[in-house]
Chains A and B, each alone.
Chain A
Amino acid sequence: MSVFYFVAFLSIFFALMTIFTKNPVHSVLYLVITFFTFTVHYILLNAQFLAVVNFIVYMGAIMVLFLFVLMLLNLNKDTEPLKSNLVKFMGVIAGMCLLVTLAASFRLLQISDPVVLKNPDIGLVSNLGKVLFSDFLLPFEISSILLLTAMVGAVLLAKNDPKKV
Chain B
Amino acid sequence: MIDLIWLIPLLPLVGFLLNGLGRNVLSKPLVGLLGSGVVLASFLLSCGVFAEVYTARQAGEPAVFIQSVFEWIAAGSLEVSLSFLVDPLSAIMLLIVTGIGFLIHVYSIGYMKHDAGFAKFFAFLNLFVFFMLVLVLGSNYAVMFIGWEGVGLCSYLLIGFWFKNKEFASAGKKAFVMNRIGDLSFLIAVFLIFNTFGTLEFTGVFPQAAGMAMGDTTLLLVTLLLFVAATGKSAQIPLFTWLPDAMAGPTPVSALIHAATMVTAGIYMIARSNILFTLSPVTLQIVAAIGICTALLAAAIAITQNDIKKVLAYSTVSQLGYMFLGLGVGAFTGAFFHVITHAFFKALLFLGAGSVIHAMGDEQDMRHMGGLKKHLPITYVTMLVATIAIAGIPPLSGFFSKDEILAHAFSANKLLWVLGFVGALFTAFYMFRLLSLTFFGKFRGTTEQADHLHESPASMTVPLIILAVLSAVGGLLNVPSALGGGQALANFLSPVFADSAAVTGPFHLDHSTEYVLMAVSAVGAIVMAVVAYRQYAVKGTVPKADDAPRGVLAKLSYHKFYVDELYDTLVVRPLNALSVFFYRIVDRAGIDGLVNGLGKRVGESAQGIRLLQNGNVGSYIFMMVIAAVLILAFGVFNG
Contacts and interface: CB of A to CB of B under 8 A. Distances in A.
Q: Do chains A and B touch in the complex (CB under 8 A)?
A: yes
Contacts of A52: none
Interface string A75-103: 00000011110110011001101100110
Interface residues of A, number: 16
B212 interface: no
Contacts of A105: 632, 635-636, 639
Contact of B632 (A90, A91, A101): A101
B622 A101 contact: no
A104 interface: yes
Contacts of A98: 625, 628-629, 632
Contact of B622 (A83, A84, A91): A91
A86 B618 CA distance: 13
> Taking each of B602, B603, B608, B636, which has the highest tally of chain A beta carbons within 10 Å of its own beta carbon?
B636
A101 B603 CA distance: 34
A81 B625 CA distance: 22
A95 B625 CA distance: 8
B606 interface: yes
B633 interface: yes
B602 A94 contact: no
B625 A94 contact: yes
Interface in B601-639: 602-603, 605-606, 608-609, 618, 622, 625-626, 628-629, 632-633, 635-636, 639
Given A104-B636, A105-B636, A94 B629 contact: yes
A97 B635 contact: no
A84 B639 CA distance: 38
Contacts of B602: 81-82
A2 to B, nearest CB: 30
A56 to B, nearest CB: 31
Contacts, number: 43
> Taking each of A82, A98, A101, which has the highest tally of chain B beta carbons within 10 Å of its own beta carbon?
A101
Contacts of B639: 105
Interface in A95-122: 95, 97-98, 101-102, 104-105
Contact of B603 (A82, A87, A94, A104): A82
B606 to A, nearest CB: 5
A97 B625 CA distance: 9
A102 B639 CA distance: 13
Contacts of A84: 606, 608-609
Interface string A46-57: 000000000000
B598 interface: yes
A94 B622 contact: yes
B633 A101 contact: yes
A104 B606 CA distance: 34
B629 A90 contact: no
Nearest to A82: B606
Contacts of B605: 81
B174 to A, nearest CB: 46
Contacts of B598: 81
Nearest to B607: A84
A42 to B, nearest CB: 28
B606 A83 contact: yes
A90 B616 CA distance: 14
A102 B632 contact: yes
Nearest to B623: A94
Contacts of A83: 606
B603 A90 contact: no
A90 B622 contact: yes
Contacts of B629: 94, 97-98, 101
25 contacts: A81-B598, A81-B602, A82-B602, A82-B603, A83-B606, A84-B606, A84-B608, A86-B609, A87-B606, A90-B622, A91-B622, A94-B622, A94-B625, A94-B629, A95-B625, A97-B625, A97-B626, A97-B629, A98-B628, A98-B629, A98-B632, A101-B629, A101-B632, A105-B632, A105-B639
Given A81-B605, A81-B606, 19 more contacts: A81-B598, A81-B602, A83-B606, A84-B606, A84-B609, A86-B609, A87-B609, A91-B618, A94-B622, A94-B625, A94-B626, A94-B629, A95-B625, A98-B628, A101-B633, A102-B632, A104-B632, A105-B632, A105-B639
Interface of A: 81-84, 86-87, 90-91, 94-95, 97-98, 101-102, 104-105
